[in-house]
Structure 1
Amino acid sequence: MAGSNFGDLFKISTWGESHGKALGVVVDGCPAGLELTEEDIQIDLNKRKPGQSSFATPRKESDQVEILSGVFEGKTTGTPISLVIFNQDQRSKDYSNIKDVYRPGHSDFVYDNKYGFRDYRGSGRASGRETSGRVAAGAIAKKLLASLGVEITAYTSSVGPISINRDKFDKSEILKNPFYMPDVDASKEAEQYLIDIMKDQNSSGGTIECIVNNVPKGLGEPVFDKCDALLAKAIMSIGAVKAVEIGSGTNASKMTGFEHNDFYDIESDNVVKQTNNAGGIVGGITDGSQIFLKATIKPTPSIEKTQPTINSFGEKIDINIHGRHDPIIVPRAVVVVEAMVALTLVDLLLKSMTSRMDLIKKVFN
């Protein structure tokens, strides 16, 4: 199976399955000298791990990370960093009754068609647990960016039909509720909405927004490696994401050119923009203003409500999916979005160091 690598200079390779012995990631290209401990990585893994509320799968995993290589005396050595997270609470027998069934909304059918074989235990590589490796690697990328003053903040902006009120936006509220919403009232409404959805044996989708402050100018390469193009690819690689918007996103189609253009101005000898419909990226290159993106997350496909499907023998059947599943994926995906944004920006940052002769001379002179 190809496609488990991401990045060019700051490169990661994730591995492992939902019900295998462990999952992990190898990070190659991290500069030497970055202070790094397992605790730095664990902070983000704790945001993603299951069993944290009644709105997440009850599967009990500590998601405790171990650094196997690439760090010595608390600092990165410049060699590959290998991280491992052992699975502790697999219940593979929960899936034995559906091993020949194609679950609606899952990868079962396409995996069987592509490979002629699939790991039916929790979907194997297609499971949301695959993202634990991304989050671990992303924590390293975030720490590298933080050393340059770059701040990445993601949060849930909607759960089903419940959206945050931007007039009530409170960043400090994000970590205080199980949905990672920056609006306490919207969080309470979302809780009641999900309670009703769960009673109906159903699930919900939602949206995640991510803002990046203090972004250096000049990240991104014209044509195929535009910053917004790579961010879109990174976010779309998360299994549950169905759409990505940057800046004004789909609202741009409703605006005139005069309305959408971000007018330039000068403040204290610095070039600034009066608006940010571009989302911090123009011509595929960061302009130094805030990056803003939105990811649309589909409802969890594993629901107990009866659904029509077929099995691998071509028979029409009905299915009720029992077991331990999230009624909503969105809250646990918030930190995954942060990770993929961080990994993309670090890779582009390292590439941009060679874009001009004066930058190269600064390093080698």
Structure 2
Amino acid sequence: MSNQPLLEVENLTIEYSTREGPLTAVSNADFTVSEGEYFGLVGESGCGKSTLAKSIIGGLDDNGRIASGKLKYRGEEIQNFTDAKLNEKVRWKEIAYIPQASMNSLDPMQRLSEQAVEIANVHTDLGDDEALDQFSDMFEVVGLPESRIRDYPHQFSGGMQQRAIIALALFLEPSIIIADEPTTALDVIMQDQIFKYLDTIKGSTDTSMILITHDISLVFESCDELAVMHGGQVAETGAITDVYDEPKHPYSYLLQRAFPDIRYPNRELETIEGTPPQQFGDVNYCTFANRCPWSTEECREAAPELEATDQSADGHRAACFRTEEIFEQGDPDESLVAIRGDGS
């Protein structure tokens, strides 16, 4: 396995053109994904994680653009690739995308088999029969009868359509799977089956996955490394064990406590008031400042950089001016109670 990261996101800023001016959806995002690694990209709705993922495959809306920064795949910059070059070198056979909105992702006028053959024709040298054989295998993997590969999308339920999308993403054996809330439309049994399969291919291949979700507990269970996002900024990155045991950013800390933890069955779940803000132009402040119980004026006057924590050897980094005060001195739970004055 190469020591070079498979995917590098370097100081990436993404903007959307609007009537009010350039809306900054992602600001100076920074992380890497290695071969064979399952990487979680976690944060609440509207934090920029799906926008970031779409930028990797050139899938931004027409009014979206990468304003600055770099995207490197196997060391090669891809942020300025044309559609033709992305089709030739990246999409489907190297990086496949599983979208959340399955109902809008399949061509209603084409049978599933026709869509699979079309993808193979554009992105590989596979013959039609060979492509259909591989696609049939993936249908079985995601729990769909092979006999239904020639059905139209409208003949499937929403959950079955999502499984068909997952089969399309997997059948060319890409190096990275970008999975944007990949099991949203599935029942809990099928969710478990899909993730068991993803764990199986993790153990037998070097396939990497970027799992995008608001559910930090799912990332803790399924991934090796993660990046926590809020308001278009990466708040914290690191190994799952480091962020789970010792979160170093207030947002990571509160997000983790918004989900049940079997270690603390009687703990009251946290709520993070408000929603991610909209930013226009340069973002030169912490976008969590107005929602953070520990913020000061400094947080509103400059954007903190991702910096190594005490566990710098494992790549644990956080973007917070007050990390040391909050997490190195005293108990953050006690200080949170004192700040809120709830005493409960």
Does TM-score exceed 0.5, indicating one fold? Answer: no
TM-score, structure 2 as length reference: 0.23
Output the TM-score relative to the length of structure 1. 0.22
